Structure formats: C-alpha cells, structure tokens
Structure 1
C-alpha cells in the first residue's frame, strides 16, 4: 500500500503581472505563470496558490524517478524591489512550473479535494534530497 503525504510548501512570492489566469472559477485556472519573488527561505519547492514551482534540479530529479502526475513547464521569474534589497541567499539559476496533473492518492503528484498538494512516498523521497525545510509535510488521509 502506497503512503501519501500532504505538502504545504514555502510561499516565497506570488503571481507576477504577466500571469494569465481565469479567476472566475475556484481554484483559478492558470494558463501562463509569472512568479515574483518577495522573499526566500531556501526551499526548492514553492507555492503561489494554485501553482507550484521547483528548481530545475528538483524537476530533473522528479522526471528521472519516472514519477507520474505532473508536467514541467516554463515559468517567468522576477523579483520585487524588497527582494532585491533584502535577499541574502543566491537563488537556483532556473525554476520550472510543476504543473500538477494527477489525482491525490492515485498518482505520485496530485491535488486533493481541498486543493492541497499530495505526493507519494517515492515523490517525497525525491523532494527530500533537496531543501524542503520550510514546508509542512504530514501523512495524508484520504
């Protein structure tokens, strides 16, 4: 039996002005993602509801593990003036949009009925090879 985990990632920013989304529905349907960093504690899995981004290294590791329930897509990255003033840590050079396509409890990456990220134990093992220190991770009960 596969164990699944709910992850609430670090929120290091939000939608930038170039995000294109249908906000007339819940959750919003995002067509193109622009993530603007406002701060960053160091995690390589980040969120801005209902979207997730990962460092390029995390994306490559998830693909190499042959996990299901996601695609990696392009994301535009920018930085707020506050971020540029205060940020001390260097960011990974590239990020990907971790577009979740699976159902929670069925695919390695899925979205629950309460719109939270749910991953298999195998996916969590991959994510834990990278910085995930500021995410809340709990066992998921369907």
Structure 2
C-alpha cells in the first residue's frame, strides 16, 4: 500500500495569477528569498523548478498538470542575493485527490503527495519545508 504525506513547502515569495480572455492563466512568483528547495508555495499556489518538473514528468505521476509561470526577484531578494537570480519555475496546478493520486490537496489546501512523488521531490531538493508528515485522511 502506498504511503502519502502532507507537505508544507518553503514559502520563498508571493504568487499572483493573471487571467486574460482567450488565453490560459499565468502565474507570477516573486521571490523574496530562496533557500534552494525545488517545491515552493504561496498559498494556495505551488511552483516547482524546471528540474523538478522534468523529474515529475519522467515518473508519469498523476494528480497535477503544469501551467506557465514567470519568476521575478523582489528588492529584498536582490539585496539578500546580489549575485543570484531566481530559478525558472513551472506552476504546479494540482487537481488530484489526496490519498489516491500522486499529487493532491486536502480540504485545507495542504499538499498531499505519494511516497514516490516525495522521493522525487527530495532527490531534486527539499530541505527547507515547513512540515512533512504522514497523511491521515481522517485528520487524526
């Protein structure tokens, strides 16, 4: 039986979504800081680095699709990391059911991933998350 985990990724900035008639929505993630994780959050949105997007696609996991994303550096980011630029990212649009699909969100918007998905996320870089606990569908 597959194990699932509730994950609260690093929050490295803020996300906004732009919707234009006749085109897909685009997410912009403005970095205020970044400690190197490949999975990031700005509630209720998630972004992944290009490297993690490639890894997840290779694994043929389910419960998500990628949407377009742009990244920007805030004044704070430029001051803290004068020689760095934010990574290129993709919008992780989650549509899976928690505890069934590889990627899903629970009723509170918390990301829930399968053990296989978590292994791949950790392989690419996942050291600065808020929390990562075994998923309990009953909330106990």
TM class by shorter chain equals 0.7 to 0.9
Cα contact 2:71–2:87 (8 A) shared by 1:
no
Q: CA RMSD in A?
A: 1.9
What is the aligned partner in structure 2 of residue 138 from structure 1?
133
Match of 1:72 among 55, 59, 66: 66
1:116 aligns with 2:110: yes
TM-score (norm 2): 0.87
Distance across 1 between alignment mates of 2:71 and 2:52: 16
Stretch deviating more after TM superposition (80-89 or 46-55): 80-89
TM-score (norm 1): 0.86
Distance across 1 between alignment mates of 2:88 and 2:37: 13
What is the aligned partner in structure 2 of residue 85 from structure 1?
79
Distance across 1 between alignment mates of 2:82 and 2:106: 35
Count of residues in Structure 1 that have an aligned counterpart in Structure 2 = 132
